[in-house]
Structure 1
């Protein structure tokens, strides 16, 4: 014992509490420590050249250092080496020297304990020697039945006469619980300790004998080569001996009971498939890899809400009330939705249910923020049906909709079936969001699945690849949303009825802000109406100068920003009862204004024309510019234009050239550059020389924004005519329309958004194709038609007559 180099006992020394095993005085063992108190104890021992006591925590109290939560005996020893590991742990090499007992411990200094040596009592050598002989025999028996027993231990205890050392050696290799290990470790009566060890060995021999018998029973049932299966059967046999293996049987009974309950609502092939899989699972071992996959499949099928339907009857009155309550304007959209559900109400009241009567799928088309998804929310509330939203934007994997085949790892049902499971009803309102952004690649085309889902002739037998049987989706009310209907494949467009939701006018935005956005944001920010003063003029200024959108999403964000700052003022200063926000102090709450559309120029300019464009976020006014440079009649176009617009520019240029050749556009000879010889000889030039002696450069700002589409023909032609004739274009006139080579003006799309953009830019006159004037003018808001002259044109001559000064 190497204790003479240290202070005498009892003494206060650092305390290390281990989690698992008792160490013995003869051991040199590595310990891995991550507890800060243990690490502090190690540091103190090394710095002050002290011994340490290593003891063990009690079961269930591994992270506690309360006195009653660890054993009061352990091994006194020294730290031979310490290494700090990268993960924050500390590794030490510990050498045991003697057993110790804690005589005093203060929880306020948990790194230390007062320790005394644990000395064995005096004993009669003859009696103990007899017990040791019996113990040696028992150890030999244990080594014969336990192949993992260390063989060299038998030789060690044969050659050793020290009873305490023999007891320590044998105790260290026995597999016992913590409390039993503590009893064998702390016993100071050597004779009693040896008898306890003999008793423990006998119990272990008996346990190994029973285990061997169980092993032999299992071996008669299985092949010896299947090692993994053998081990699992061994566990099963042990559980059977203990009478604890009935969990699987209970689960199978539960599955059969749930299946029987929904049998009448399930398709026949679905019932047969599910029943077959349950029976297959009952025959399969619960630890088999296939059992887990099979159980997942059965649970997924049983979660589908077969036979569960929302009971509320369809009522057009409820739908109209909810739509009017939640949305301002959108009259045509509301009217079409009401008609759609009027048909459904009539069919329901007359109990007509056939494939032909299931109707079309509604698709709301319009810029972001105009209320497409919220219309679907209103429908869901009015019908008292759960709402399921499936975001289709960017989806490229067809299996996300149709489900994965069960042969794949991690296979799951498609989003449509998951939507039914989440809704817990078979007739929810399902919103197919951003259906125009579906993509196709090597993993399939999700559009093809949508063709089946949205077709009333097919969706009553939609087959999910994971479930592997048909599901009736005909009771689901599908509502799609899209920003641009042109991006939806033609076959899919054919299955839907489009309801256009256009940009809001400033007047509509004002009413939406007053009636919906401001009250909602006040409530969200915990403000009372009396605590905020926001005048109508201020709201109008916010709409005109601080938002750039077709819808009202950014407008909501602006009000949210205002009210956040108002809340901060009220919270910071208790004396403030009311926050006043007006046009004078608005800049204190918001950044600099963002002008949505540049207003019309006051001065008319040569070669600059106001064109109207449609974008995914509403209409816009694009100024088309041109300059002429001395050259040979070349044309260059810039402004990030697409192929359609580039062709339009060539057509427009040719049309203007034709007008000049036919003398329908008068050219002042003075603007045509002449050579000195022509000046001297007073040569009279042909009008066509004006486009032969100049190069034209056409540009549409902003250059970084991509532009394309068939509606800029008359705008470009007017710009060419202006620059070649040296006549200015009226700055308060805007136009939209496509040209043919013969000079006819063709109709265009997106007229409402374009006219709203012109209205916001304060244009006085707008030129549009006559066909659009005849068929689309009813859709234009009243304030737009009232404050702006909308003039129909048939040919390019009509356009130039109205546009050029």
Structure 2
């Protein structure tokens, strides 16, 4: 290589003599050339330059070009120096034809000395393998110029020579002195190319000069570049002189510090800012930002570099760029697509929940097949809906562990500001990114499992509607270009697996609910609660209370006692608290000196926790009188039983409803009353009872709001029970919507309601006929054991099943003396004047077997 450098210097010293010789022969240039790409260099015509070739295809190119005897190749420049084997789109279309004047080959590289001949443009690429070969068009210099052009060229020639001479002087010997005589080089385009080749210009600027074919435009472009370079070199010389003037003879090392101080003073920046800018630039480069985000970051970085250190805008810009550099633009984790392994993890973490587990395994199966085919995968937006304590949040964490992804949880309860989701614009003081972008930064990957907890607890006020702000993030068709207000550039959320949780769907906006796949988690059965406690809750609480399985054994009988007597919920949180209470009692025993192991059974539970809080017998006590019935309701915290009470008083056409009943529930009561009035004769009720009766219906737990149509059949039953005096059968509960014509319509939440009935000791349940499929699909056989289910289509079937039976109506004959109307019920007193009792009828009345009513005919009574 030293030999090549020596030859280059010799060639440069002789170039002036060679340029002006008329006897110089130009070799014949073919129309097709082998193209040699250079990584970060530009060759100009006439000039001599050394080249080192180390890539195997191009070493072969040199060999082929020398072997055919022409020694002529085309030199082009790569757009990206890091490209190993560039194609036609990776090189600039303008190059220079060169001839190989010297070649030195060793084991790994080939060293060349080449001389430029003429510009060319690529017309057509003939082949890219093993190297580029193309058909080219030679660019001829314009020899004939007009008078005006000659004057302009001459003026530019002098300016170029003068400016370049100044640059040579300011280079302090870095450039050969004979460059000061550059003005003597002819023709003028050769002088311009020679200046462009040796001036301190970037590769992009040299390519710009090479691709500018009109001579005047080329010289003007080169002159502007030289003027800028000369100004920079003059400024550097002034800085050097100023620093040298301040240097004392005793402190030579002070020179470097003063020089650095002057540089920062001239540029208007401090040491700290320079370090900040360089650090952020390195971090942004390593973050692999998309093109649009990179453009925004570069713009902000340049703006920050011009700011005064310590200015408020400087801190804002630095915080923004720090966030941009910290986001996981290109960092992701690899999914675990081993389906049996994922199923094993899910089964270990959660008991039951088979539907949810199957849905996740189906998603992973689809992802596995699509990845094997190289097709994109659409991430679903799952929404787990169910009462508290059934494992919605912990299931999201388990899904992340099973898939091998990072997990991040964002609680949306009480969030009212839209900016909490989408961020604040940077124009505001204290602006920051939204919780979604912040969560991705904390997760560290662009494909975590992102749990949006309690999405039904979102609020909205004058600051905006957070639910609407989530529409873009939770839409698989749009979230690939999610734009946070603070970030102000798109971020791809399509790789994020969003999971939302809610206790109910009513509070979620329709458009937001439409974007999610709803998966319902219902409450647990007693058997499931005991299994969960045995596998998860008991070991956890033993560990938290300093106990071991060798010290304490909690039997299933104790767990059943806790479930049946001390908890009445859909989930297992209260169950866990009761287990913790038992563990505290046990820990105290061992702390007080007990050494023998302890076995906890149902008797131990009664000793530790006292009498059970819930008793099944209360149903028999409450429903032992007419006018009381048991209904089943769904609530956001699971199913529950309610007791409807009715009383009648003297009055007229009045229906009172208390217990914080909603509009729909009040309408159900009115529909039930209208049905009873329309069918009073069939039900054994006086047709004119409404003219003389005031009815009051109350639903206990009056502090709790209640609403919904599912209490319709219960309303009808309780009013009928009140007016007929027939009690509701013990331990019987019902649910269903009622219509004016007496039809029973289906309702929701069947599993939760049946679970509540089971917990409360109900043995007979009346359900709408169209809910039969819900019972068979959602309620396991072991839960239905010991319970009787009746499915009805009409209210008369409900009344027949729910009310205590009566004897077949009997005719009671009396002898009237005149036509009179008798009201119901007939008192146990002498009949009205003009009537006489038959002995059997009087005996029945005295025994209060049946109420006696007038059947509309003066000569007969019906009971």
State if a TM-score over 0.5 links the two structures. Answer: yes
Report what 1:562 is aligned to: 582
1:330 to 337, 340, 353: 353
Match of 2:657 among 624, 637, 648: 637
Between the aligned partners of 2:649 and 2:508, the Cα distance in structure 1 is 43
Q: Which runs of 5+ in 2 are unaligned?
A: 1-241, 243-260, 805-863
Deviation at 1:564, TM superposition (A): 2.6
Mark the CA change 1:367 to 1:598 in structure 2 (over 3 Å): closer, same or farther: farther
Segments of 4+ moved more than 6 angstroms? 236-241
SS in 2 for 1:729: coil
- Kindly indicate whether the alpha-carbon contact (under 8 Å) linking 2:646 and 2:722 is maintained by their aligned counterparts in 1: yes
2:595 aligns with 576
- Does residue 549 (structure 1) correspond to residue 599 (structure 2)? The answer is no
Counterpart residue number, 1:250: 275
Partner residue, 1:290:
313
Number of residue pairs the alignment of both structures matches = 543
Rounded to whole Å, the distance in 1 between the matches of 2:301 and 2:629 is 74
Other-structure match for 1:601: 620
Instruction: Describe the SS at the equivalent of 1:410.
Output: coil
Q: How far is the alpha carbon of 1:314 from its aligned partner?
A: 2.9
Are the counterparts in 2 of residues 367 and 483 from structure 1 also a CA contact under 8 Å?
yes
Paired residue secondary structure (1:773): helix
| Residues 32-71 of structure 1: CA deviation (Å, up to 9, x unaligned) | xxxxxxxxxxxxxxxxxxxxxxxxxxxxxxxxxxxxxxxx
State whether structure 2 residue 419 is matched by structure 1 residue 399: yes
Deviation at 1:267, TM superposition (A): 2.1
Output the CA distance in 1 between the equivalents of 2:452 and 2:388. Answer: 15
Question: Once the 2 structures are TM-superposed, how far is the Cα of residue 632 of structure 1 from its aligned partner?
Answer: 1.5
Structure with the larger RCO, 1 or 2 (CA within 8 Å, 6+ apart): 1
Counterpart Cα distance in 2 of 1:775 and 1:703: 30
Native 8 Å contact 1:267 1:470 kept in 2:
no
Aligned residue number for residue 780 of structure 1: 779
Q: Which residue of 2 aligns with 1:457?
A: 477
Asked whether the 8 Å contact 1:548–1:596 carries over to 2, the reply is no
Shift of 1:776: 4.3
Q: Is the 8 A contact 2:425 2:431 kept in 1?
A: yes
Q: CA deviation at 1:584?
A: 2.9
Equivalent residue, structure 1, for 2:286? 261
Q: How does 1:715-794 map to 2 (within 5 A)?
A: 715-794=714-793
CA distance in 1, matches of 2:286, 2:617: 66
Which residue is equivalent to 2:515?
A: 495
* Correspondence for 1:512 among 499, 520, 532: 532
Q: State yes or no: 1:314 paired with 2:332.
A: no
1:358 aligns with 2:378: yes
Q: Cα RMSD between the aligned structures? A: 2.2
The reply on whether 1:339 has 2:339 as its aligned counterpart is no
The alpha-carbon distance between structure 1 residues 470 and 717, as it changes in their structure 2 partners (threshold 3 A), is: same
Report the CA distance shift for 1:762/1:596 in structure 2 as closer, same or farther (over 3 A): closer
Contact 1:597 1:757 in 2 (8 A): no
CA distance in 2, matches of 1:616, 1:598: 26
Shift of 1:430: 0.1
* 8 A Cα contact 2:379 2:496, kept in partner: no
Q: What is residue 611 of structure 1 aligned with on the other side?
A: 631
How big is the shift at 1:533?
Answer: 2.8
Give the alignment of 1:79-94 within 5 angstroms: none
The answer to whether the 8 Å contact 2:616/2:761 transfers is: no
In 2: Cα distance, 1:239 partner to 1:453 partner = 45
Contact 2:561 2:605 in 1 (8 A): no
- Rounded Cα–Cα distance in structure 1 between residues aligned with 2:442 and 2:298: 23
Cα separation, 1, equivalents of 2:290 and 2:263: 42
Shift of the alpha carbon at 1:706?
1.1
| Pairing partner for 1:420 from 440, 448, 454 | 440
CA deviation map 1:275-333 (0-9, x unaligned): 11111111111121211111111111111012111124433323211111111111222
- CA distance in 2 between counterparts of 1:521 and 1:655 reads 54
Rounded to whole Å, the distance in 1 between the matches of 2:270 and 2:488 is 32
SS of match in other structure, 1:613: strand
For 1:358 and 1:542, locate their aligned partners in 2 and report how far apart those are by CA, in whole Å: 45
Secondary structure of 1:644 counterpart: helix
Larger Cα-atom Rg: 2
Check whether the contact 2:750–2:774 (CA below 8 A) recurs between aligned residues: no
Secondary structure, counterpart of 1:767 in structure 2: strand
Give the equivalent residue in structure 2 for 1:24: none
Q: Is the 8 A contact 2:653 2:690 kept in 1?
A: yes
Distance 1:725-1:414 versus aligned 2 partners, 3 A rule: same
What is the SS of the residue equivalent to 1:422? helix
Q: Distance in 2 between matches of 1:762 and 1:693?
A: 38
Q: Choose which of 637, 646, 657 in structure 1 pairs with 2:666.
A: 646
SS of structure 1 residue aligned to 2:517: strand
| Aligned residue number for residue 432 of structure 1 | 452
Shift of 1:345: 2.1
Contact 2:567 2:574 in 1 (8 A): yes
Tell me by how many angstroms 1:421 deviates: 0.7
Given the superposition, is the C-alpha separation of residues 405 and 486 from structure 1 closer, same or farther in structure 2, using an over 3 Å criterion? same
Distance, in Å, in 2 between the alignment partners of 1:659 and 1:556 is: 51
Measured against aligned partners, the alpha-carbon deviations of 1:631-684 in whole angstroms (never above 9, x if no partner) come to 223211111111111111111011111111xx22123xxxxxxxxxxxxxxxxx
TM-score scaled by length of structure 1? 0.65
Kindly indicate whether the alpha-carbon contact (under 8 Å) linking 2:639 and 2:753 is maintained by their aligned counterparts in 1: yes
Structure 2 partner of 1:665: 683
Q: Please state how far the C-alpha of 1:596 moved relative to its aligned partner.
A: 8.0
Structure 2 length-normalised TM: 0.61
**Partner secondary structure for residue 373 of structure 1:** helix
Match of residue 709 from structure 2: 710
SS for the counterpart of 2:506 is helix
Query: Structure 1 residue 614: deviation in Å?
Result: 0.8
In structure 2, the residue matched to 1:589 is 608
Question: Structure 2 matches for 1:207-286, cutoff 5 A?
Answer: 246-263=271-288, 266-286=289-309
Instruction: Quote the Cα distance in structure 2 between the aligned partners of 1:359 and 1:301.
Output: 24
Q: Is the CA contact 1:652–1:716 (under 8 Å) kept in the aligned structure 2?
A: yes
The CA distance in 1 between the partners of 2:504 and 2:330, in whole Å, is 37
Equivalent residues of 1:360, 1:495 under 8 A apart: no
Distance 2:294 2:688 in 1: 84
**SS of the residue 1:349 aligns to:** helix
CA contact (8 A) 1:625 1:700 kept: yes
Q: How far apart, CA to CA, are the structure 2 residues paired with 1:472 and 1:239?
A: 39
User: Is the CA contact 2:389–2:572 (under 8 Å) kept in the aligned structure 1?
Assistant: yes
Deviation (angstroms), 1:398:
0.7
The whole-number CA distance in structure 1 between the counterparts of 2:615 and 2:297 is 59
Task: Tell whether 2:413 aligns with 1:388.
Answer: no
| CA deviation after TM superposition for structure 1 residue 450, in Å | 1.3
Q: Once the 2 structures are TM-superposed, how far is the Cα of residue 475 of structure 1 from its aligned partner?
A: 0.3
Aligned counterparts of 2:304 and 2:783: Cα–Cα separation in 1: 69
